Structure 1
């Protein structure tokens, strides 16, 4: 069974952010991810991780002005200095939180922009970030995102992301493979897991039900089958990453919060643990 990490930007929203760590640990999660840590002191987050026996597995580099609709800076010519400053901040947090992976969002395609210029900026920024992260022992991840959720997002397909990683050629630059986005954009998810996971260029998975981004057992994807594919391929190629649960709880929104909607996780063979890390 894959190792599941709770996405604290989407799960446990019935709690304040810093209290979500305890809630995730109480449900048996041993890893957490989220969008951004920068509204909180790294020391405060690190204390929550330590208190609850959690590993920080992923967060995003600063995306520009999120409130104004920006969704990353990496592909935007003229924003290189801001990108580098933000990534340096992300590296500081990664060090403090012992987080091995930083996701760099590509950004939105500006109206009328030449894609070749955006691609060149994107690859140059990623090469710089991966080089910086490599000296700190961190991976940089890029994620194809569907244009229904984020219209105009620059990177949309698994083959595009894989080509970028190959073109740059640094071993710590990898793809964040979100099964939800992949199903919406191109489908054939199981075969894409089989195609890309053995290459060593996949650093992380994320999941959600399609099409509504609720619990993974709500919608058109057969997640138990896909978890089996991940297990099978991982065993063959030695992959030991995480699967981030990045969905909006539907059952929990009605009654009982996020925990009320975790039946899918228990059916997958997930074993909750107590506060001392022992299986129930």
Structure 2
């Protein structure tokens, strides 16, 4: 059975942030992901992880901004979802990478997800060719910096229904980027929900790309609503068994919206799928 990590910006949102660590550990998670840890002092995050015997297995580089305040503003702006592909934002991008690497090293986090960014609606402002060249150059430099720290840099194809205008949408494009950058520590974060929305054919995508060693992390959510993985059209028990068959030894991040929303116990009440997966049951 795969090993699962709770994304604490998506799960347990019915609780204050600091209480989500204990809740995740109580429900059996041994690892967590954080989208934006930068408004929290490293020492406090380290204490929360240690107190609950949790590993931090993934964090996001800032989507924009260069300090805690401007990063939080960037997350709140719908038009700011990364700067990696945007010409003219190179200094901002690399300041964000430096901050992310500092957090990753201090928190023993081995992976940083770097968001590509949204292309302007007018193609004559930034062409796809210019965005591609900027993206590759920025990732090459970021991967070199991260390599010195023993950290992997991840890129994730995201569907354009949820995030219109996002630069990177398909698995084949992501793997072509890896080939162009040529850095061993640059890998793909394969979110099966996003892949289902854009491409489908999940099992064959896993069979194609997992053996390459270029998938550095996997995330899950039900489709089409991005809720628990036992809600919707994706047969996750089959895919979990396939991950085992293919020898995937990494983490599977749970990045979904509990169907119970912000109700008390909303996340925990929706974890029946995890209990069944833990018992090796063939279907939800």
TM-score normalized with structure 1 length: 0.93
Q: Secondary structure at the match of 1:63?
A: coil
C-alpha displacement of 1:96: 1.1
SS at match of 1:268: helix
Other-structure match for 1:143: 156
The answer for the alignment partner of 1:243 in structure 2 is: 252
Q: Deviations over 1:221-258 (max 9, x none)?
A: 00000001111101xxxx42100000000146556321
1:258 to 256, 262, 267: 267
Is contact 1:252–1:259 with CA below 8 Å preserved after alignment? Answer: no
The residue number in structure 2 matching 1:108 is 118
Contact 2:192 2:218 in 1 (8 A): yes
Provide the rounded CA distance (Å) in 2 between the counterparts of 1:74 and 1:215: 30
Where do 5+ consecutive residues of structure 1 fail to align?
Answer: 272-280
| Contact 1:252-1:261 at 8 Å conserved across structures | no
CA distance in 2, matches of 1:66, 1:29: 26
Deviation at 1:34, TM superposition (A): 2.1
Distance of 2:162 and 2:34 partners within structure 1: 17
CA distance in 2, matches of 1:67, 1:233: 39
Alignment of 1:162-173 (within 5 A): 162-173=175-186
Counterpart in the other structure of 2:75: 66
TM-score (norm 2): 0.92
How far does the alpha carbon of each residue in 1:45-73 deviate from its partner, in whole angstroms, 9 at most, with x for none?
Answer: 01111111000000100001222220000
Matched, 1:208 2:217: no
Change (3 A) 1:147 1:29: same
Q: 3-state DSSP class of the match of 1:147? A: coil
- Give the aligned CA root-mean-square deviation in angstroms: 1.2
Q: Is the aligned partner of 1:13 residue 2:13?
A: yes
Question: Contact 2:85/2:117 (CA < 8 Å) preserved in 1?
Answer: yes
Which 4+ runs in 1 deviate beyond 3 A?
Answer: 251-255
- 8 Å contact kept, 2:6–2:255: yes
Equivalent-residue separation in structure 2 for 1:33 and 1:254 (angstroms): 22
Q: Are 1:134 and 2:147 counterparts?
A: yes
Query: 1:222 matched to which residue of 2?
Result: 235
Unpaired runs of 5+ residues, structure 2, are: 65-73
Match of 2:196 in 1: 183
Q: Contact conserved, 1:162 with 1:175, CA < 8 A, in 2?
A: yes
Which residue of structure 2 aligns with residue 77 of structure 1?
87
Matched-pair contact (CA < 8 Å) for 2:13–2:262: no
The Cα shift of 1:43 comes to 0.9
Secondary structure of the equivalent of 1:221? coil
Residue by residue over 1:194-220, the C-alpha shift from the partner in whole angstroms, topping out at 9 and shown as x without a partner, is 100010100000000000011000000
CA 89–254 in structure 1, closer or farther in 2 if over 3 Å, else same: closer
Counterpart of 2:69 in structure 1 is: none
- Which residue number corresponds to residue 275 of structure 1? none
